[in-house]
């Protein structure tokens, strides 16, 4: 059956887990997946993703989620990649070529013709499925950077479709994006969209500058930002709402993703969550708990945080046994050596700190390498006095908003890198520059030394922002704009 609403993503929304009753599908815990799943259930659309083929198990091209008998079920169409294709597409191109460039970490970028050719083939496979499955005038929502060529490939065959993309990462300045040998091909792919959504206006500015410089596109419809115009590094006062290119108009918009506030608030109030939070605090043996919960990715600044906490303990022997740092390091890209190196470096730093300062009664750093269910994460959020989020660069960072949504009272302090997209929204955090050890030290001292009145005022303001711009309002606003743009000409959107 032809679909009127299609989501393209490099990942499926559900994962197969083994239970006593056999395998079953479980929705992934990422907040964006949760929102997209809700949208798909209401629209009964088709989700297209790739999956690595396991020669020892049968491959299902189509599955129905949450289950074949669920009243709100929808289809997931899997594109099968063998192990070599998956490695070249995911690890060698999207993870080693595009990812580090988007985050302006150019020393980590690697480009090979073989991986690029695989990226083209996979994008073509996605585009072919869309062209076959989409109903006339359907909406196609592309998510992230893994499928940047698909808009042009789809547009050639199906000009009737409305094509939108939401970029869940940063977008770098022109001279950074320029290091990709195939920059023009990628940019041309994106310029075939009707709407491109970014987290914050500065990413839209960078994209407009890039296509202007390398493609001769023209930015127009300059609007003032509704977020912070000055302050953190990621803030800008204005941004273009339209790109004109070869007779087409591509609409741009800033849509900071929110979180499911009612969910986090409800879980935080549960008696079992409160019991878990109390158990975590008792296990640390400390009065003050600092929390970090991030993927163990080189962009997230895990080593910098550990070194900062070590310096804090050197300066403050009176805080020994009173302050503990809980670090949750979620595995990511485990098949790549540099991420394994990150794990080793983090664990060596944890061992060094605990060896230097720990006692029989007190462990300075509690380090967890692994994934927690969202309910368990809420228990950590509920007990942490300080959330420490200091990525070297980040598209937005939903952990910050999850923490704020889980704080039912007015207690809690957030330390946030000024290079995270959320810094353009959340005025009341303690901003820091993770590239500066001195500034990292300053921010940690400020957060831990803040008086109760200031802590309460800041958290109340943060909660107000997070509640009023939750994930449901994000999806409604983005999809509302998608429906307003024309599939052929684009539309200037009202800021």
CA-wise closest residue to 212 among 172, 177, 245, 179? 245
* Superfamily of segment(s) 3-258+473-484: Glycogen Phosphorylase B; (3.40.50.2000)
Can you tell me the distance from the alpha carbon of 320 to that of 353, in angstroms, rounded to the nearest whole number?
12
Residues 6+ away with beta carbon under 8 Å from 446: 430
Structurally, what CATH architecture does the domain formed by 261-468 represent?
A: 3-Layer(aba) Sandwich (3.40)
Q: For the chain, percent helix, then strand, then coil, each to nearest 5?
A: 45, 25, 30
User: Which strands sit side by side in the sheet containing 46-52, from one edge to the other?
Assistant: 62-65, 74-81, 46-52, 3-8, 134-143, 162-166, 195-198, 248-254, 238-245, 218-224
∠ CA 463-256-30, nearest 5°, is: 85
∠ CA 321-324-328, nearest 5°, is: 155
Nearest-10 crossing angle of helices 452-468, 398-406: 110
The answer to whether domain 3-258+473-484 and domain 261-468 are alike in fold is yes
Read out DSSP for 168-188? -S----HHHHTTSTTHHHHHH
Phi/psi for 373 (5° steps) reads -65, 155
Strands 430-432 and 195-198: unpaired
pLDDT means per 10 residues, the chain with 495 residues, are 91 81 72 77 92 88 90 94 96 95 94 98 98 96 96 97 96 98 98 97 98 98 91 94 96 94 94 96 94 89 96 97 94 72 89 95 92 90 97 94 92 96 96 97 98 96 95 92 71 48
Given CA atoms 222, 227, 228, 232 in this order, what sign does their dihedral have? negative
Residues 6+ away with beta carbon under 8 Å from 69: none
Can you tell me the distance from the alpha carbon of 438 to that of 308, in angstroms, rounded to the nearest whole number?
9
> DSSP code of 420?
B
Can you tell me the distance from the alpha carbon of 326 to that of 366, in angstroms, rounded to the nearest whole number?
5
CA-wise closest residue to 49 among 39, 58, 62? 62
Can you tell me the distance from the alpha carbon of 430 to that of 407, in angstroms, rounded to the nearest whole number?
17
The answer to whether the CB of 400 falls within 8 A of the CB of 422 is yes
∠ CA 389-391-395, nearest 5°, is: 105
Give the per-residue pLDDT at 488.
44
Strands 46-52 and 3-8: parallel
Residues 6+ away with beta carbon under 8 Å from 337: none
Strand ranges (E), 285-334: 288-295, 323-330
Query: Tokens for 40?
Result: 């798909």
* Burial profile 396-405: b = 16 or more Cβ within 10 angstroms, e = fewer: bbbbbbbbbb
Alpha-carbon 340 to chain mean position: 21
Write out the H or E segment, with its range, that includes residue 216.
none
Map out the domains of the chain as residue ranges.
Answer: 3-258+473-484, 261-468
Can you tell me the distance from the alpha carbon of 241 to that of 249, in angstroms, rounded to the nearest whole number?
10
Query: Tokens for 15?
Result: 């994962």
């Amino acid at each position: 059956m032809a679909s009127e609403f299609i989501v393209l993503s490099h990942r499926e929304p559900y994962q197969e887990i083994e239970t006593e009753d056999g395998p079953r599908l479980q929705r992934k815990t990422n907040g964006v997946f949760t929102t997209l799943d809700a949208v798909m259930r209401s629209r009964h659309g088709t989700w297209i993703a790739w999956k690595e083929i396991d020669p020892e198990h049968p491959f299902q091209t189509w599955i129905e989620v949450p289950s074949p008998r669920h009243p709100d079920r929808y289809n997931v169409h899997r594109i099968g990649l063998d192990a070599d294709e998956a490695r070249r597409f995911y690890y060698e191109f999207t993870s080693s070529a595009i990812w580090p460039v988007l985050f302006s970490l150019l020393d980590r970028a690697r480009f090979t013709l073989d991986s690029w050719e695989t990226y083209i083939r996979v994008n073509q496979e996605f585009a072919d499925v869309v062209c076959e499955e989409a109903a006339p005038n359907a909406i196609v929502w592309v998510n992230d950077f893994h499928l940047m060529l698909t808009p042009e490939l789809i547009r050639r065959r199906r000009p009737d479709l409305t094509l939108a993309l939401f970029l869940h990462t940063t977008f770098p300045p022109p001279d950074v994006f320029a290091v990709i040998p195939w920059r023009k091909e990628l940019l041309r792919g994106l310029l075939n969209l009707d709407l491109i959504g970014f987290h914050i206006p500065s990413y839209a500015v960078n994209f407009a500058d890039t296509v202007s410089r390398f493609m001769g596109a023209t930015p127009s419809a300059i609007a003032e930002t509704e977020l912070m115009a000055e302050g953190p590094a990621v803030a800008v006062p204005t941004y273009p709402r339209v790109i004109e290119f070869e007779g087409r108009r591509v609409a741009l918009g800033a849509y900071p993703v929110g979180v499911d506030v009612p969910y986090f608030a409800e879980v935080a109030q549960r008696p079992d969550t409160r019991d878990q939070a109390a158990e975590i605090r008792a296990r640390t043996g400390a009065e003050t708990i600092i929390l970090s919960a991030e993927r163990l990715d080189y962009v997230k600044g895990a080593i910098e945080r550990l070194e900062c906490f070590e310096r804090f303990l050197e300066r403050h022997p009176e805080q020994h046994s009173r302050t503990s740092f809980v670090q949750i390091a979620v595995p990511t890209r485990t098949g790549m050596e540099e991420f394994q190196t990150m794990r080793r470096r983090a664990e060596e730093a944890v061992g060094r700190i605990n060896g230097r300062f720990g006692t029989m009664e007190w462990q300075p750093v509690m380090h967890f390498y692994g994934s927690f269910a969202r309910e368990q994460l809420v228990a950590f959020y509920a007990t942490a006095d300080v959330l420490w989020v200091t990525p070297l660069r980040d598209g937005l960072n939903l952990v910050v908003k999850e923490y704020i949504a889980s704080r039912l009272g007015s207690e809690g302090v957030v330390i946030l890198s000024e290079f995270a997209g959320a810094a353009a929204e959340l005025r009341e955090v303690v901003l820091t520059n993770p590239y500066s050890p001195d500034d990292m030290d300053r921010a940690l001292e400020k957060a831990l030394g803040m008086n109760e009145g200031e802590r309460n005022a800041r958290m109340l303001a943060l909660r107000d922002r997070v509640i009023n711009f939750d994930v449901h309002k994000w999806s409604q606003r983005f999809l509302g704009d998608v429906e307003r743009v024309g599939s052929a000409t684009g539309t200037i959107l009202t800021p």
